[in-house]
Amino acid sequence: EQPFRSLAAYGASKAALNLFINTLRHEMEPWGVKLEPCGVKVSTILPSSYKTGQSSNQEYWERQYKSLIHNLSAGLLEEYGEDYIHETKELFQRFAQSANEDLSPVINTISEALLSPRPLVRYYAGPGVGLMNFVYSYFPLSLSDKFLQRLFVQKKIIPRALRKENNINNININNNNNDEKIEK
């Protein structure tokens, strides 16, 4: 539900899934009324960050990185630069290593939703995800953006094409106050 840097495609896929689930909820609502007390209810469970699948497997990340470098067109590789792509891989790898291994908050939330006589439309499972939603929904955009920017990947390298365009050899983006330090 919130925009995180470097996760546009991932976020778009989750937003599409969320819209699909909400549409199902609306479509199933009339049937639920007719089938009470065992009506059909649809809920969304939004988990925080967890180690799942290959997310904490270093060899997996290295294979993905090599595959991307190998399959990326020469033009895109030139535009972004291998250093930009490498930094992104390192940031995701580091973030995945810090993700929670204990899935019990998600399992408990699923159980709560399934056993509830009146399930909620939306459940937040795990540390911080409810707070993120609150901040994003109720704070002014300038504050919620700063809050969210500090939570995920904090890139220091910009794509090579932007460095060339601005005649920049090196850039260090200080994400704490969004000031840019540029060395020419």
- The β-bridge partners of 50 are 100
Q: What residues act catalytically?
A: 10
Q: Which alpha helices (H) appear in the chain, and where do they start and end? A: 8-34, 58-71, 74-80, 82-98, 104-115, 129-138, 141-149, 160-165
- CA-based Rg of the chain, rounded to a whole angstrom? 21
The tokens for 87 are 């930094």
Say how far apart CA 12 and CA 9 lie, in whole Å: 5
Question: Which element (helix H / strand E) includes 173?
Answer: strand 170-174
The secondary structure of residue 47, as a DSSP letter, is E
SS3 state of residue 34: helix
Bridging pattern class, strands 170-174 and 179-183? antiparallel
- The β-bridge partners of 173 are 180
